């Protein structure tokens, strides 16, 4: 079962403020609203052509009467967690895929809870009554088709997609709408005359394997209403991470190297902070930078000693960037990301006195931030960044 | 898996202007706090409805947030369990 909250942030704002109900609502960042982007739009706004990631200025051109609300992340995350907790009694395996999406494995639950569709109705009603928002639910034999089903009747939908009905129900669905098929795969499929789901069934396994390799085996399965290779299997809440990363899309194009470095330092500290909270250190560092309309560059580098020190990760990130063709020179940055991998348990032993002092310093900073709030002490380099 | 720690808003330098302190009459019952009326800008606002409530931990302090309406406007007020202070952070 896949639960997809409907226009989650905007719906929470409409639940919070009765005056916003039934109106086109735009949720955006804290900066000057002409410079920020749409984080979420209510269905009333979506019907007028406004959608996430559009600039707020453009959204107001389309709909001058739209109501603008500054995003309140704490409110959304609290509500998301509360919904996640509410779902736990309905399945032994509940997973939070994102702030507004949840998976429930309903295998074997029917004898205790009744048919999955009945459970879905009960869940939808509880979400509505306890949080004042709606959710769309998809039920199918696999995660992929449950996710597709949840999007078929938004908002407030409930779709049960039995395996035998997949071919007929999805017959005219463009292949680009299928989760896991991105732009480049869609373009390649289109090149072979595969435009909608029903076209996929015209080709056999050999075709998919020859043309798409490993991905082809998954595509073949999808064409037969099966899934299992692409979307990861159920993860326990305690599953150790294989990597720790953060990325961010700026609401503007940054070209000042100092500003770009400030954002990078911020990301590195976030990665470091999470590594430390997990008791891990990373040896490999992956950095990606995206330019507007020009794709992205990405590099990774393996280092000899694992670390969870934000300053060290930043230095390593700069070293990775120096391996990129132009470094940061002349770069117009739209998005960036930092990811640490090859993770190992944090190693307490350090031989050099400077390392020991450094570790004590980081421990003290973590203690201060743990007591007085994150970012009570933060790297000076990021102080030029203002909320956007 | 979704990572709730990816909180940009908590990692950015904070606003230099703290939210305004307000006086609130509230009930504390069964472990839950609920504002009833508050004094803001020289006017007592009767809480007609708590439209949304949520919590957030910042360091060692737990903050209890409320969107409340006096029937005319919607306010965001919150209470810290260490400082025992009520503040108002947004007036819609």
Higher pLDDT, B5 or A160: A160
**Chain B environment of A4 (Cβ under 8 Å):** none
pLDDT digits (tens, 9 = 90+) for A292-339: 766 778 899 999 989 999 999 999 999 999 888 777 777 788 888 999
Which of A282, A274, A277, A288 minimizes the C-alpha distance to A338? A288
Arithmetic mean of pLDDT over chain A: 88
The pLDDT of residue A230? 45
Residues B15-72 pLDDT 10s = 556 789 999 999 988 888 999 999 998 999 999 999 999 999 888 899 999 999 999 9
Q: Which of B67, B75, B76 is best to mutate for the A interface (most A CBs within 10 A)?
A: B67
CA dihedral A95, A97, A101, A106 (to 10 degrees): -30
Looking at residue B1, its pLDDT comes to 41
Strands A25-28 and A38-41, how do they pair?
A: antiparallel
CA–CA distance, A132 with A125 (Å, rounded to integer): 10
Active site residue A101: yes
Which pLDDT band holds residue B5 (cuts at 50, 70, 90)? low
With an 8 Å Cβ cutoff, are A98 and B2 in contact? yes
- Tell me the C-alpha to C-alpha distance, in Å, between residue A168 and each of A136, A161, A172, A175: 21, 10, 8, 14
Question: Any long-range contacts for A310-314 (C-beta under 8 Å, 24+ apart)?
Answer: A310/A265, A310/A268, A310/A269, A310/A271, A310/A272, A310/A273, A310/A379, A311/A268, A311/A379, A313/A268, A313/A269, A313/A271, A313/A272, A313/A282, A313/A285, A313/A338, A313/A340, A314/A264, A314/A265, A314/A268, A314/A269, A314/A379, A314/A381
Mean of pLDDT values over A350-376: 85
Contacts of A382 in chain B (CB under 8 A): 11-13
Cα separations in angstroms, A345 against A162, A279, A280: 44, 6, 4
Residues A66-80 have pLDDT tens digits of 999 988 888 999 999
Set A101, A281, A312, A353: catalytic member: A101
């Amino acid at each position: 079962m896949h639960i997809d909250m409907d226009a989650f942030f905007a719906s929470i704002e409409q639940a919070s403020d009765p005056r916003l109900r039934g109106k086109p609502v735009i949720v955006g960042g804290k900066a000057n609203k002409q410079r920020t982007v749409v984080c979420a739009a209510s269905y009333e706004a979506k019907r007028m052509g406004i959608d996430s990631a559009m600039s707020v200025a453009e959204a107001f051109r389309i709909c001058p009467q739209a109501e603008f609300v500054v995003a309140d992340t704490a409110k959304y995350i609290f509500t998301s967690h509360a919904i996640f907790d509410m779902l736990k009694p309905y399945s032994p395996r509940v997973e939070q895929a994102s702030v507004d999406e949840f998976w429930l494995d309903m295998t074997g639950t029917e004898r205790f809870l009744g048919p999955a569709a009945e459970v879905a109705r009960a869940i939808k009603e509880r979400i509505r009554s306890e949080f004042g928002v709606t959710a769309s639910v998809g039920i199918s034999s696999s995660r992929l088709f449950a996710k597709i089903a949840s999007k078929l009747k938004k908002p407030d939908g409930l779709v049960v997609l039995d395996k035998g009905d997949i071919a007929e129900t999805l017959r005219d669905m463009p292949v680009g709408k299928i989760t896991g098929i991105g732009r480049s795969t869609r373009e390649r499929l289109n090149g072979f005359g595969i435009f909608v789901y029903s076209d996929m069934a015209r080709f056999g396994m050999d075709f998919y394997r020859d043309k798409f390799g490993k991905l082809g085996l998954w595509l073949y399965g999808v064409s037969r209403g099966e899934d299992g290779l692409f979307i990861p299997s159920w993860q326990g809440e305690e599953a150790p991470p294989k990597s720790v990363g953060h990325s961010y899309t700026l609401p503007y194009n940054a070209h000042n190297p100092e500003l770009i470095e400030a954002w990078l330092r911020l990301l590195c500290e976030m990665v470091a902070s999470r590594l430390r909270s997990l008791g891990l250190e990373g040896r490999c560092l992956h950095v990606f930078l995206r330019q507007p309309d020009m794709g992205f560059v990405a590099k990774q580098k393996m280092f000899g000693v694992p670390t969870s020190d934000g300053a060290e990760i930043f230095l390593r990130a700069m070293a990775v960037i120096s391996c990129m063709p132009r470094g940061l020179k002349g770069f117009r940055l739209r998005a960036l990301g930092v990811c640490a991998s090859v993770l190992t348990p944090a190693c307490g032993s350090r031989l050099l006195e400077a390392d020991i002092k450094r570790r004590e310093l980081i421990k003290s900073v973590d203690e201060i931030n743990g007591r007085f709030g994150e970012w009570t002490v933060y790297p000076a380099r990021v102080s030029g960044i203002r909320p956007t | 898996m979704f990572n709730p720690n990816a909180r940009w808003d908590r990692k950015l330098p904070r606003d230099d202007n703290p939210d305004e302190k307000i006086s609130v009459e509230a009930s504390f019952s069964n472990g839950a706090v609920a504002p009833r009326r508050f004094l803001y800008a020289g006017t007592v606002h009767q809480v007609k409805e708590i439209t949304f409530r949520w919590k957030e931990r910042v360091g060692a302090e737990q903050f209890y947030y409320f969107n409340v309406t006096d029937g005319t406007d919607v306010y965001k007020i919150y209470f810290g369990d260490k400082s025992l202070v009520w503040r108002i952070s947004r007036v819609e």
